[in-house]
Structure 1
Amino acid sequence: MSRARKPDWLKMRPPSGRRFTEIKQVLRDHDLHTVCEEANCPNLGECWSGREGPGTATIMLMGDRCSRGCNFCDVKTGGMEPLDPDEPANVASAIAEIGLEYVVLTSVDRDDLPDQGAGHFARTIEEIKTHHPETVVEVLVPDFRGESDCVEKIIDAEPDVIAHNIETVERLQWPVRDRRAGYEQSLSVLEQVSETSDIHTKTSLMLGIGEYDHEIYQTMGDLREIGVDIVTFGQYLQPSRSHLEVSEHVHPDKFSTWQQIAHEEFGFLYCASGPLVRSSYRAGELFVEAVLREGKSVEAARRTAGVDAE
């Protein structure tokens, strides 16, 4: 079956420019992977070019192979390799060389490891905080099978933002995600962070995979009930014919409506919503920087990130 033709609003410019080349080379020199490349992020050129500042990158820890096989994800599965003990230091060194003021750390799932990689994640955060305390650190973590001691290791490392993606509405979790993931399990991770720390929490949903409006409402309500601060909505794009098919290309106006609802009806501190928005998205990072680094109000920070204050 042929893939659905993309509408004009999903057309992307290929990444290019001196800054893009510099960041790519530094990451290669330090033997680091990024989810930007591994998952074919449509915003790679925008983030790496630094058009909104010094540039940003989402560094993927613990290799480029995942122990799970989600039906939406383009990251390779299986063939797990030992952790690189030098990776935390290499990440901190690359951040200094690139000059990142905001870094996002994510990872593959590592169900093969005793602590599922939580300790390695924490060491990387600590390395950055020790050598580059001015850098804002956001982490996009796996669900760690809902094991609270693993989540606690991340909290104790004190990143500025802890994100975990719920990905989709409750009904579609298992057609979309690996069977080892789940709606309640993901909620439990976010709830632990919000209940036991002052760290900002964040999550993301893909649209266009068969969800109904009332299910999106329900998901936003569930997220706010456990104290999630930031949510992003983006269009699911099928990486290959072997992945989950796109059900609908959601119009940009609908994304704008969801953003308004997230702010006005549910009271999220911030919502980035658009066809090409991804969990690690430059506008969301500008918002967090404005709140944490510059001490701006939520309303002023929204303006900084390109969203009119309500």
Structure 2
Amino acid sequence: MEHVKKPEWLKIKIGTNQRYTDTKRIVDTHRLHTICSSGRCPNLGECWGKGTATFMIGGAICTRACKFCNTQSGKPLPLDAEEPMRVAESIRLMKLNHAVITSVDRDDLEDLGASHWAATIRAIRELNPQTTLETLIPDFQGRGELIQMVTDTHPDIISHNMETVRRITPLVRSAATYDRSLSVIRQIADSGITAKSGIMVGLGETPEEVEQTMDDLLQHGCSILTIGQYLQPTRKHFPVAAYITPEQFTYYKIIGEKKGFTTVESGPLVRSSYHAEKHLPNH
């Protein structure tokens, strides 16, 4: 596939301020993994500058190797039992009003990392009772009892990303399936917690397929949707098929809200935790 040139609207300046410097120092000192760094997020400067960060638990090595993702894949190290408290303490030091937690996939563990997730959320709640919490969870292989371990800790929002439309899912996701992801969303919504999801565009999908994914998510109880431009992390990853125009992103936002999502964040640089603090119910 021939290389598609990156348009002007995707070129960003990473500015730094004192808050950015402080956030970076805390992340480095506490040996924390953030998806901001490992995912090479284009909004890192903006979010760290506001003192928000998305923490990645379960280590830095993922057992899956999705073709869109820059997180290192391979054989992970054993879980760090002190990580839940380190993350909770860092959130306290950063004085975060809203924290986002995600993780690598840990298909190597018996409970796929679910009890580590629950321990982290409990530690954050204990140390930071005022901090609202969003968790971006893996599919836990669709095992309901493991998803319930997370829903039982009652984060304010639980997100699980569809990543792309049905047709493209098997091309870019190494183990997850479209229907399994929908069933995860359904379980989150049925537990009474706000369900959120995100997709990337520019992988070769059609607008009709994006709208179908919106309909599928709404039918499964999803109320918040993020839509962003796929950016190829390295030459080994899936190539960008198209750079979607800002106008098309605006169209997706309008159509998504018309269809019934309470919030749609849609733009070239939008990522799943971008402006996450605005997605809280009654916020």
TM range (shorter): over 0.9
**Does the CA-based 8 Å contact 1:2-1:241 persist in structure 2?**
no
State the match for 1:185 in structure 2. Answer: 180
**Does the CA-based 8 Å contact 1:206-1:233 persist in structure 2?**
yes
**Does the CA-based 8 Å contact 1:15-1:44 persist in structure 2?**
no
Between the aligned residues of both structures, percent identity stands at 45
The 1:258/1:161 distance shift into structure 2, 3 A limit, reads: same
Cα RMSD for the two superposed structures: 1.1
State the match for 1:228 in structure 2. Answer: 222
Alignment of 1:20-99 (within 5 A): 20-50=20-50, 55-99=51-95
Q: Give 1:133 deviation, angstroms.
A: 1.2
SS where residue 223 of structure 1 aligns? helix
Q: TM-score, normalised by structure 2?
A: 0.98
User: Which ranges in structure 1 are unaligned for 5 or more consecutive residues?
Assistant: 297-310
**Does the CA-based 8 Å contact 1:23-1:48 persist in structure 2?**
yes
One of 146, 158, 166 as aligned partner of 1:170 = 166
State the match for 1:144 in structure 2. Answer: 140
Alpha-carbon distance in 2 for matches of 1:245, 1:233: 18
**Residue 19 of structure 1 aligns to which amino acid in structure 2?**
R
Alpha-carbon distance in 1 for matches of 2:131, 2:2: 44
Q: Give 1:226 deviation, angstroms.
A: 1.0
The yes-or-no answer on 1:101 pairing with 2:97 is yes
State the match for 2:110 in structure 1. Answer: 114
SS where residue 55 of structure 2 aligns? strand
Q: After TM superposition, where is structure 1 displaced by more than 4 Å over at least 4 residues in a row?
A: none
The yes-or-no answer on 1:267 pairing with 2:263 is no
One of 230, 237, 243 as aligned partner of 2:237 = 243
The yes-or-no answer on 1:277 pairing with 2:270 is yes
Alignment of 1:188-203 (within 5 A): 188-195=183-190, 197-203=191-197
Alignment of 1:3-18 (within 5 A): 3-18=3-18
Q: Give 1:14 deviation, angstroms.
A: 2.1
**Relative contact order higher in (CA < 8 Å, ≥ 6 apart):** 2
Q: Give 1:15 deviation, angstroms.
A: 4.2
Q: Give 1:24 deviation, angstroms.
A: 1.0
Alpha-carbon distance in 2 for matches of 1:70, 1:3: 20
Q: TM-score, normalised by structure 1?
A: 0.89
**Does the CA-based 8 Å contact 1:15-1:46 persist in structure 2?**
yes
